[in-house]
Amino acid sequence: MTAKYSRTDDFFVNTADLSARRPPPRSQNAAVQILQLPAVIVASYLAYIGGTIFFWNLLNDFPAILAIIVKILASKVGIHLDSLDTFLNIFIVNITNVVEAGWLGFLVAFPYIIYSVANGLYVQWRTNIPIYRNIVFLSDITQSVFLLAVIVGLYTLMLNVKDNTQIPINWNVVSRRFSVEVSEGPDFNTELTWLKDIPLVGDSLANVNVLRPGTATRALMTGVINTLRAVLLALVFSTLLGIFVGIGLLSNNWLVRNLSTIYVEIFRNTPLLVQLFFIFRGLLGVLPTSPRDAYKLGDFYLSGRGLNFPKVLTTDTYPYFLVSVIAGLVVGIYLWRWRLKVQDETGKPANTLAWFSMAFWGLGAIGLGLAFAVGGSPFKLDYPVLDRFNFSGGSRWSSGYLTLVVGLTLYTGAFIADIVRAGIQSVSYGQIEAARAHGLTSNQTLRLVVLPQAMRLIVPPLTNQYLNLSKNSSLAIAIGFYDLYNVATVVQNQTGQAVALFAILMGTYLVISLLISLLMNMVNRSMRLKTR
């Protein structure tokens, strides 16, 4: 179809040279430029909210006065609003609280509402777009209404909590005395002597109320340390177990493969609590309770109260040993890198592991020998000795601790095994074939081709499992192990300050989760495939 138009403005040749321009310039006025910075806007909004809360008492009288004026005016007209009060009181939800919260919500959302209304009206004046159809205005209003609803909801709940708790919320609960005996973890009834060693703030820190021996804070700190003890050990063991079983799931051996599958299916499909109870009551519970009848394996004593084993203490000659071990590590790493460079330049096999081991173990042995020569073994063992009723000396893992670690290991290990299997299977078989065709041995294929790619698929769900493990450690309350959650519950029972304690509790768990996520994110990022 040929065009019938021949007017010259249909033919157009652009002879101008239009290069890129910057976006439409903002106002030249420096003051306006500063005022439009996001930081300034946010800061002033926060200051406004702070002022609202600070002057809340004054501001709060306003609606009450307004209500009175309205009532007076209405009664002048002939409408009596008093009966409305009694009618509203029938509602179980506290209307006064809702009204107060509504007032706060309105005050907080007020600037935003004003801003969006002003903007909408300006646009309407300039461009004839009616405000109720302006999509910018509509989205602003939606957000401010949402903000209002959220603030009203939360503040009403807070007010109701304040009304309904008989015990006033006391954030100082943490300095009260904690009287329950917690028999493991750092003893919270002693002074923290190392605090004084901190420069500058040490002395004043040591005298702070909340850190005194016997307070709830110290007990909570002990709880945190107990939680960390259990979680870290369980993390390491469950990862090892998971890797081991995950590889077993892909084994050539029919028996090993199916047994691994059975293990994974059983421990994934039973609740963790059932497993913990079974171990705690069913297995450890049938051990003899009296230490006298404990099962003995060398110097390890297993009884219903836990596992007592010799404690490893360091002697005066320990520093010699430590220094040489660290030296061995450093030298070993240098040798490792040197050997890799040698391989790059000359092609000779690197044997990095052999050289590293030589340096590390060698220097370690030298250090050991040195320690012996100077003054004796760098370690000494403190053996558990049976007193009348109990063991003294040595260290003890209580049966609760054992149960928690073993249970968490078995449970999480099953999930990790499946993740490892999926990760290894995701590497397409063609890669393995190509590697083998190039002459790489089975080990080298695994190390250089399969594992790096498999790790990419393994790390994110692994992070998830680690987070689950740290959260599942709170089940220690069911078996009487004094982890953080158990301690917090005891404090809450004693003092009744549920709100303060749950805030502390949830905050701590959030921090632990955050730390694990951050760490694993760093690991993940270091393994990211570089794409375009």
Residues 278-297 that bind other proteins (CB under 8 A): 278, 281-283, 285-286
Q: Does 8 bind other proteins (CB under 8 A)?
A: no
- The whole-angstrom separation of Cα 291 and Cα 256 is 38
Cβ atoms of 141 and 116 closer than 8 Å: yes
Least CB distance from residue 413 to other proteins, whole Å? Answer: 16
Cβ atoms of 218 and 178 closer than 8 Å: yes
Q: What angle do CA 39, 112, 141 make, to 5 degrees?
A: 130
Instruction: Single out the residue of 34, 46, 161, 313 in contact with other proteins (rule: CB under 8 A).
Output: 161
Least CB distance from residue 258 to other proteins, whole Å? Answer: 10
Least CB distance from residue 387 to other proteins, whole Å? Answer: 23
Instruction: Single out the residue of 203, 265, 293, 316 in contact with other proteins (rule: CB under 8 A).
Output: 265
Q: Does 498 bind other proteins (CB under 8 A)?
A: yes
**Which CB, 222 or 492, lies closer to other proteins?**
492
Instruction: Single out the residue of 324, 472, 487, 495 in contact with other proteins (rule: CB under 8 A).
Output: 472
Cβ atoms of 247 and 420 closer than 8 Å: yes
Instruction: Single out the residue of 136, 333, 340, 365 in contact with other proteins (rule: CB under 8 A).
Output: 136
**Contacts (CB under 8 A) with other proteins, residues 163-192:** 163-165
Instruction: Single out the residue of 54, 295, 338, 502 in contact with other proteins (rule: CB under 8 A).
Output: 502
| Beta bridge pairs of residue 292 | none
Structure tokens at 211: 């850190």
Instruction: Single out the residue of 195, 273, 370, 440 in contact with other proteins (rule: CB under 8 A).
Output: 273
Q: Does 118 bind other proteins (CB under 8 A)?
A: no
**Which CB, 73 or 283, lies closer to other proteins?**
283
Cβ atoms of 318 and 371 closer than 8 Å: yes
Cβ atoms of 336 and 395 closer than 8 Å: no
Least CB distance from residue 473 to other proteins, whole Å? Answer: 8
Least CB distance from residue 268 to other proteins, whole Å? Answer: 8
Instruction: Single out the residue of 31, 39, 93, 529 in contact with other proteins (rule: CB under 8 A).
Output: 93
Q: Does 270 bind other proteins (CB under 8 A)?
A: yes
- The whole-angstrom separation of Cα 458 and Cα 456 is 5
* Binding segment (CB under 8 A) for other proteins, from list 157-165, 228-236, 348-356, 427-435: 157-165
What's the number of CA atoms in the CB half-sphere (13 Å) around residue 93? 8
Q: Does 5 bind other proteins (CB under 8 A)?
A: yes
Q: Does 210 bind other proteins (CB under 8 A)?
A: no
**Contacts (CB under 8 A) with other proteins, residues 366-405:** none
Structure tokens at 286: 């049938």
How distant is the alpha carbon of residue 287 from its chain centre?
36
Could you identify the residue written with the tokens 């047994």? Answer: 259
Instruction: Single out the residue of 343, 489, 494, 524 in contact with other proteins (rule: CB under 8 A).
Output: 489
Q: Does 510 bind other proteins (CB under 8 A)?
A: yes
Q: Does 475 bind other proteins (CB under 8 A)?
A: yes
| Beta bridge pairs of residue 497 | none
**Cα-only R_g, the chain:** 35
**Which CB, 115 or 278, lies closer to other proteins?**
278
CB-based contacts of 467: which residues, under 8 Å, 6+ apart? Answer: 513, 516, 517
**Contacts (CB under 8 A) with other proteins, residues 11-30:** 11-15, 18, 20-24
Instruction: Single out the residue of 39, 135, 200, 522 in contact with other proteins (rule: CB under 8 A).
Output: 135
**Which CB, 202 or 480, lies closer to other proteins?**
480
Least CB distance from residue 435 to other proteins, whole Å? Answer: 20
What's the number of CA atoms in the CB half-sphere (13 Å) around residue 194? 0
* Binding segment (CB under 8 A) for other proteins, from list 30-38, 175-183, 426-434, 507-515: 507-515
DSSP secondary structure, 358-426, as one string: HHHHHHHHHHHHHHHHHTS-SEEEE--EE-SSSEESSEEEEHHHHHHHHHHHHHHHHHHHHHHHHHHHH
Q: Does 90 bind other proteins (CB under 8 A)?
A: no
CB atoms within 10 A of CB 14: 6
Q: Does 157 bind other proteins (CB under 8 A)?
A: yes
Q: Label the pairing between strands 391-392 and 295-297.
A: unpaired
- The whole-angstrom separation of Cα 238 and Cα 243 is 8
Instruction: Single out the residue of 80, 133, 292, 341 in contact with other proteins (rule: CB under 8 A).
Output: 133
Cβ atoms of 416 and 246 closer than 8 Å: yes
Q: Does 266 bind other proteins (CB under 8 A)?
A: yes
Cβ atoms of 134 and 99 closer than 8 Å: no
Q: How many residues bind other proteins (CB under 8 A)?
A: 85
Environment class of 30 (CB within 10 Å of its CB; exposed 0-12, middle 13-18, buried 19+): exposed
* Binding segment (CB under 8 A) for other proteins, from list 53-61, 65-73, 233-241, 259-267: 259-267
**Which CB, 21 or 388, lies closer to other proteins?**
21
* Binding segment (CB under 8 A) for other proteins, from list 69-77, 140-148, 182-190, 343-351: 140-148
Least CB distance from residue 338 to other proteins, whole Å? Answer: 34
Cβ atoms of 296 and 288 closer than 8 Å: no
Q: Does 410 bind other proteins (CB under 8 A)?
A: no
